[in-house]
């Protein structure tokens, strides 16, 4: 399967308007955002576990990155409430489940060679750093060889300078409404902008909380 596999193209998806698709395991559904491959794939998805659902034990040959959006996600290593950011490196394995149900933002097979660090951050208790403009605060999540991942909180009526992303940019809107000169992106929006894309982002009265990854697109 190839879905939004041309990384030279800008993609905008409003995931709250997308239908769920069943996965091979009962109680686990997903919304595919981009994908190259079948069940073993380079993929970005929103994944939902029904209460009591579980996934069979499996290994992540290319690594797995997770942001828990709602509910509580679990595996044999622990329980991860909403706001938890996880990185399970290539070669790791687990048997995930959710007793109460959960919704996740998931990226598979997108680790750089040599990136073997496991990360588990409770973002709701981590400190924020002042951003480059007033009204902007940043929480770094991970950095490796020029690929940077962070949460960015935008206060209402914040404007950022026009800028270029030489390595591309990916955004998932966790809360609020995000804007740039190209469009309006409410909660659940996913934007993938190619290398050397540019924009002038801002917020209005709602403000926004976004997940951002830069420098990772081929």
Determine the Cα–Cα distance for residues 10 and 138; give it in Å rounded to an integer.
24
Domains and CATH numbers, the chain: 18-122 (2.60.120.10), 127-214 (2.60.120.10)
Q: Strands 64-75, 84-88: parallel, antiparallel or unpaired by DSSP?
A: antiparallel
Answer whether residue 59 shows pLDDT above 90.
no
Residues above pLDDT 70, as percent of the chain: 100
- Report the SS3 class of residue 93: strand
The mean pLDDT value for 195-216 works out to 98
93-132 per-position pLDDT tens digit: 899 999 999 999 999 999 999 999 999 999 999 999 999 9
Q: 3-class SS at 12?
A: strand
Structure pTM? 0.97
- CB-based contact 136:153 (threshold 8 Å): yes
Q: Which residue has the tokens 């559904």?
A: 29
Q: How many CB atoms lie within 10 A of CB 157?
A: 12
Radius of gyration of the chain (CA): 17
Cα distance between residue 37 and residue 55, in whole Å: 19
Of the chain, the percentage scoring pLDDT greater than 90 comes to 92
- How confident is the model over 1-12, as a mean pLDDT? 97
For tokens 């950095």, name the residue.
143
pLDDT at 127: 96
């Amino acid at each position: 399967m190839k879905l939004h596999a041309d990384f030279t193209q800008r993609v905008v998806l409003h995931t709250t308007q997308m239908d769920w698709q069943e996965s091979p395991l009962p109680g686990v559904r997903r919304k595919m955002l981009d994908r190259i491959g079948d069940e073993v794939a380079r993929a970005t998805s929103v994944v939902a576990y029904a209460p009591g659902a579980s996934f069979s034990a499996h290994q992540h040959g290319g690594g797995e990155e997770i942001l828990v959006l709602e509910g509580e996600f679990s595996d044999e290593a622990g329980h991860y409430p909403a706001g938890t950011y996880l990185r399970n490196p290539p070669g790791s394995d687990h048997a995930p489940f959710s007793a109460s149900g959960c919704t996740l933002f998931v990226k598979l097979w997108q680790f750089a060679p040599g990136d073997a660090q496991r990360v588990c951050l409770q973002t709701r208790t981590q400190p924020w750093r002042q951003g480059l403009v007033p009204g902007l605060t940043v929480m770094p999540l991970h950095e490796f060889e020029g690929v940077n991942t962070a949460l960015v909180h935008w206060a209402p009526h914040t404007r950022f300078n026009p800028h270029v992303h030489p390595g591309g940019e990916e955004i998932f809107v966790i809360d609020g409404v995000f804007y740039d000169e190209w469009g309006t992106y409410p909660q659940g929006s996913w934007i993938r902008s190619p290398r050397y894309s540019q924009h002038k982002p801002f917020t209005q009265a709602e403000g926004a909380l976004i997940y951002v990854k830069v420098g990772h697109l081929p």
